[in-house]
Amino acid sequence: MTLDPWIIAAAAAALALVLGRRALGGRRLSPDDIRQRIAAGAVVVDVRSPDEFRGGAYPGALNIPLHELSGRLGEIPRQRPVVLYCASGARSGVAAMLLRRAGYAEVVNAGGLHDMPR
């Protein structure tokens, strides 16, 4: 039995997507789940650039651009859950991975600003 190269390529792409998503912050929670975490005291961190943040942000979010995150960890309380977002979920996924490696226990990649609860 010979497999079509397109089937093999499609399967490899799907696997890369699943593994990449896990590496960049895991599965995403629903807006209702995010809303509950925020209501329970989670810190909301926007890891976009200051210009993006000025263009519109989630109410009460702390702006710590991804490239500054490691130097500003002291601004994020370790004893509270953390909800991260960016424009698409990619930068916040990297930020989630960095925070977990730094010892933050409850970290959620909420995705993009458009994924945040209204």
From residue 52, how far is each of 28, 78, 79, 85 by CA, in Å?
A: 22, 26, 28, 12
Q: Which residues are catalytic?
A: 86
